[in-house]
Structure 1
Amino acid sequence: MSTSRSGPFHHGNLPHALLDAGMELLLASGEPGALSLREVARRAGVSANAPYRHYADKDALLTALAVRGYDALAECLSAADGAGGAAEAIPAMAEAYVRFALDRPGLFRLMYAYPCGRSNAEALAAAARCTAVIEGRLAREAPAGRRPAALLATWSLVHGLASLLLEGRIVVGPGGLAELVRATVAELTPMGAGVVADG
């Protein structure tokens, strides 16, 4: 069944429709480089030139999609942060991060491996909002002087785990993804990252 839209869009709805179409394509292909403005326009049901009214080029659209991705990941992390103290929340946030990457590999690669948003103020602000959720939890759990190192260690480990899983370098065992993530995150404490174990 085709997901292309038909009929004209009002001017105010076109950017949203284009982003929706771009997200559909990105999630389907798994590769940011495979997305084209022509195909986005076709799927949105508008002319091939219509996207240029709102996005100067493909990178501009990809940057807007990355912003949407950072905001979605921040929401996932915030929801997981409500799990309670560090013993519950930090593993839950790590699992949310990894699941986001595995469920939306194209979007995840766009956010962290594609250069389009690295100099864009809106994309940088969205990425900072996402990181701030992790920082907020660590600010409640790690001593003040160790928070930068705790953030770097936590993010590096969880992002690395997500990337290795995406590339098929790690196979999830019979215990499932949650067990794999929790066992990996548990190693942060003996490594001296500054994250406390049980409150």
Structure 2
Amino acid sequence: MNDGLNSVKITAGEGARAYHHGALREALIDAAESILEERGVEGFSLREAARRAGVSPAAPGHHFGDARGLLTAVATRAFRDFGDALEAGDVGTHRSERLRGLGMAYVRFALANRARFQLMWRKALLDRDDAGFCAAGDRAFDILDRVARGGDADEGPDLTALSPSIAAWSIVHGFVELALSGAFGTGPEELEAATEQLLPRVLDHLVVAD
């Protein structure tokens, strides 16, 4: 089979690089993440992502279509990593312990990945119908839902059945928004203290039956 069908080489001046097809896609996502970290979403552009990946300005369009497509890919990867963090935080015997673990994991992920975390919820900038994005987001919510609702998690997705999960989500996400806005301080030590000392007490206000 012609190697050209499995790889792509794009010329972009002296910084041009040769990538395997899949590696170029990941390189562009990496580049987009670095832009978001440094400049925020307002400073993001496909051209800058291409420049950082060392490829032509047209290259991102071949893989993602437009800026929305690339940002959706970034948000999808972020949701997958977020789900992994929640899975790792789901520890303990009782539901209250497990919710505390999930809450701590939720907040720690957000504080360690501010730019990506904030993008995850900027739905106007993302393709909300993208299958990968939907699957990654649903998985993250399902991890919280199965703990918050416990034995009731198979009752169906009506709003009444989801109320324990929405309550847990609202409390933790609200805590994150306060932390990101500087309400608990801006230094790493202050944020760690809020996560370790204040968050568990906040989560204690969730009434759950073990």
TM-score, structure 1 as length reference: 0.83
Q: 1:50 aligns with which of 45, 50, 59?
A: 59
Are 1:187 and 2:205 counterparts? Answer: yes
C-alpha separation in 1, matches of 2:96 and 2:193: 19
Q: 1:177 aligns with which of 195, 199, 207?
A: 195
RMSD, matched Cα: 2.3
Partner of 1:89: 98
C-alpha separation in 1, matches of 2:71 and 2:54: 19
Q: CA deviation at 1:23?
A: 1.7
Partner of 1:134: 144
Q: What amino acid sits opposite 1:121 in the alignment?
A: A
Q: 1:74 to 1:132 in 2, by over 3 A?
A: same
Partner of 1:149: 163
5+ residue gaps, structure 2: 1-14
- The number of residues matched between the two structures is 187
C-alpha contact (below 8 Å) 1:82/1:89 kept by paired residues: yes
**SS of structure 2 residue aligned to 1:62:** helix
Shift >3 Å, 4+ stretches: 141-147, 170-176
TM-score, structure 2 as length reference: 0.79
| Higher radius of gyration, 1 or 2 | 2
C-alpha contact (below 8 Å) 2:100/2:200 kept by paired residues: yes
C-alpha contact (below 8 Å) 2:32/2:74 kept by paired residues: yes
Partner of 2:177: 163
Are 1:39 and 2:48 counterparts? Answer: yes
C-alpha contact (below 8 Å) 1:86/1:141 kept by paired residues: no
Query: RCO higher in 1 or 2 (8 Å CA, sep ≥ 6)?
Result: 1
- Percent of paired sites with the same residue: 33
C-alpha separation in 1, matches of 2:90 and 2:192: 26
Partner of 2:10: none
C-alpha separation in 1, matches of 2:191 and 2:47: 42
